[in-house]
Amino acid sequence: MNFFGRHHDYRLPSEAEWEYAARAGTKTPFYWGERAEDGCDYENAAGCRTSAGSTAVVGSYKPNPWGFYDMLGNVWQWVEDCYVSNYDVAPKDGNAVTIKDCNSRVVRGGSWYTSPRLRSAAFRIGYTPDIRYRDVGFRVARTVVP
């Protein structure tokens, strides 16, 4: 992809990269703490002071500690990895899990349409790549070569 005369390589992040960015140095299930209910300033969730019922405009809520917006609770986010039930085959270098018969891909972060426990930094599910839901989206990562 070429913007303004510069060449940059954009891609879906690996699952490991996504979780690293979503946690933003925290060790709790949510980057704002232990409880989903405390995240109204950070996510578009049912029960918060705004009426969740659709995807929020990017930047409507506070960013995580590293400045990333909407990592949890706005839309599920596709990552590059093939869905496998555990991390046994996950590369140790943070690259995406690839398998020969990759029938589903991982989505992370939960959405405004899911229960609070599904909006944690750790929860993951697999969807077939051909699904189209109003609460599924993506963010891109840029490869930086030193």
**In this structure, what DSSP letter does residue 56 have?**
P
CA 31 to chain centre: 12
Contacts of 67 (CB under 8 A, 6+ apart): none
Local confidence band at 50 (pLDDT 50, 70, 90 cut-offs): low
Q: Tens digits of per-residue pLDDT, 13-36?
A: 999 999 999 999 999 999 999 988
3-state DSSP assignment of residue 23: helix
For position 124, what pLDDT does the model report?
95
Tokens of 8: 């940059």
Q: Mean pLDDT throughout 36-54?
A: 75
Q: Is 63 exposed, middle or buried (0-12, 13-18, 19+ CB in 10 A)?
A: middle
CA 40 to chain centre: 17
The CATH number of whichever domain residue 43 belongs to comes to: 3.90.1580.10
Does any domain span residue 1? no
For position 19, what pLDDT does the model report?
96
For position 2, what pLDDT does the model report?
42
Q: Tell me if 70 sits within 8 A of 57, measured CB to CB.
A: no
Distance CA 37, CA 43 (A): 10
Range of the domain at 67: 8-146
For position 51, what pLDDT does the model report?
53
Q: Tell me if 72 sits within 8 A of 110, measured CB to CB.
A: yes
Tokens of 3: 């913007």
Does any domain span residue 3? no
Owner of token pair 């989903």: 36
Does any domain span residue 63? yes
For position 1, what pLDDT does the model report?
43
Tell which residue, 51, 44, 56, has the closest CA to residue 114. Answer: 44
Q: Tens digits of per-residue pLDDT, 99-139?
A: 999 999 999 999 988 888 888 999 999 999 999 999 999 99
For position 44, what pLDDT does the model report?
80
Distance CA 94, CA 146 (A): 17
Local confidence band at 56 (pLDDT 50, 70, 90 cut-offs): confident
Does any domain span residue 122? yes
Local confidence band at 80 (pLDDT 50, 70, 90 cut-offs): very high
Local confidence band at 42 (pLDDT 50, 70, 90 cut-offs): confident
Q: How many domains are there within the chain? A: 1
Does any domain span residue 2? no
